[in-house]
Amino acid sequence: MAFTRREFTRQSALTGAGIALTGTVAALATAPGALAAGDSKHGHDDHGHDDHGNGHDGHGHSHEPGYGALLPDPKGIVALPAGFSYKIITHSGVTKLESGEFTPSNHDGTAAFEGARGVTLLVNNHELAGTRPDWEHPVPLTDGLVYDAVAAGGCTVVETRRDGRTAEWVGIAGTSTNCAGGATPWGTWLTCEETEDRAGKNGLLKDHGYVFEVDPSDRRANRDPRPIKAFGRYAHEAVVIDPKQGHAYLTEDASGPNGLLYRWVPPHGFKHGRGKLRTLAADAGVLQATKCFDRSGKFVDDLSRATKIGTVYGVDWVDVPDRDARTVSVRKQFGDQEVTRARKLEGMWWGDGGAYIVSSFARAESPVQHDGQVWFYDPKRRTLTLKVLLGINAAPSEDGAFDGPDNITVSPYGGLVIAEDGEGVQHLFGATESGRTYPIARNELNAGTAQKPEYSEFTGVTFSPDGKTLYANIQTPGIMLAITGPWKRHSRREQ
């Protein structure tokens, strides 16, 4: 039964402060000077300081979350806390595929899957837009795995073994701008094209802006790539699947106007499984966009309106008129009062019975400016709850505050791990269940000059199936890292 606006406002009135918050991340605040809702009564700020201006208990014992300060890397790649180390798994233009070609560049979204005999399989997106001559290391055109023979993007599958050996091969080629995506409950990867290019535009031969399924365990299943047109054609960013209801949730990274959060409802009787999505008709199921309202019942036009951690919105779903956008982009098919928009809707991850959803930043194109939000969508309650809010980072070139969250994962040790795609210094950072943030890694690979340093974003953050290794990418030139160390669940005092 639909969860109506009237039911939401009535329940909000009964609870006073709105719907109760759920999930492992109670309330996350990383803006300078901001208070996490779960910590405000204790006087904690976003840096974990207590009322006396330090992070100790009065006996010299630190209660700071995380793993301590980041130590400079003599090799100039990644700074990590003491006790942690990294290994380069793939490096564009350096490592090679099984076929002999170099690893493609521009690493992006990644997920890890358990293979046979202790093997870990990683599917790695390569965010390469346009045609192949535009890139030094495009995804190789492996026979039978090509969608559009002139397009540069795609995915590779990386196999890592217990003895340290690795192998890499193409999962799909001839796609465009493969940015994020998402792992399915049945062990495959959904790669998303962040583009709306049609055949004939930018030299491409086929329509793009679709989602494709890649099976890391069965190379034959990836032959003859077919877009999942039922999910719509737009600037896809990420996707997750509700393992119980079978709904897909998808983000759109677009502006002019801002993009949308979508839900795909499968047709009656459809059962998910390996290879089933590619069998769907282009109009199968229903594609819908969010329409949010606050606890007073007032329509919310843009998610940037939320300026307090713990803000809860009720969610209605509005059917998309033309999901393949034959004449008008999907997000432009709605009037200003019909849907709720957000700037830079990017990474997603399924956890705690719902979807964590990133809005990377908002500027002049949005009603309110911010440097990042993370929302949690609860499908049972049909609510969106603001978990992370980053204020504008006034000094992005200085190591300190975080900005521009992008790819995200739920940590097996509690809380979230987030890849930063902001201005200036770039980090992997964590957030505890009560909202205190801490650095995990810093990119030290300077692509600029000593006078004007330039650091690529982190992408593809994901844990190995056993939780012992954190994988992440430096997007440019394209380096996949395996980070290991003394991972731990934070104590109650560190929360």
Residue range 86-103, pLDDT digits in tens: 999 999 999 999 999 999
Residue 18: pLDDT above 60? no
Residue 56: pLDDT above 90? no
Nearest-angstrom CA–CA distance, 113 and 140: 23
Residue 469: pLDDT above 90? yes
Residue range 146-156, pLDDT digits in tens: 999 999 999 99
Work out the average pLDDT over 171-194.
98
**pTM of the entire predicted model:** 0.89
Instruction: With CA atoms as reference, report the closest residue to 25 among 292, 346, 389, 371.
Output: 389
Burial of 404 (0-12, 13-18, 19+ CB in 10 A): buried
Identify which has the larger pLDDT, 268 or 42.
Answer: 268
Nearest-angstrom CA–CA distance, 48 and 414: 17
Tokens of 28: 């996350």
Instruction: With CA atoms as reference, report the closest residue to 319 among 291, 344, 289.
Output: 289
Residue range 385-394, pLDDT digits in tens: 999 888 888 8
Please count the residues of the chain: 495
Homologous superfamily, domain 78-484:
TolB, C-terminal domain (2.120.10.30)
Instruction: With CA atoms as reference, report the closest residue to 369 among 2, 31, 84.
Output: 31
Neighbours of 147 (CB within 10 A): 22
Q: Which element (helix H / strand E) includes 375?
A: strand 373-378
Burial of 3 (0-12, 13-18, 19+ CB in 10 A): middle
Instruction: With CA atoms as reference, report the closest residue to 322 among 209, 418, 404, 242.
Output: 209
Tokens of 398: 């200085």
Nearest-angstrom CA–CA distance, 347 and 193: 13
* Residue 437 near residue 65 (C-beta atoms within 8 A): yes
% the chain with pLDDT above 90: 78
Instruction: With CA atoms as reference, report the closest residue to 107 among 464, 460, 419.
Output: 460
Burial of 5 (0-12, 13-18, 19+ CB in 10 A): middle
Residue range 105-152, pLDDT digits in tens: 999 999 999 999 889 999 999 999 999 999 999 999 999 999 999 999
* Residue 45 near residue 34 (C-beta atoms within 8 A): yes
* Position 376, amino acid: F
261 to each of 16, 180, 237, 351, 419, how far by Cα in Å? 27, 15, 10, 17, 20
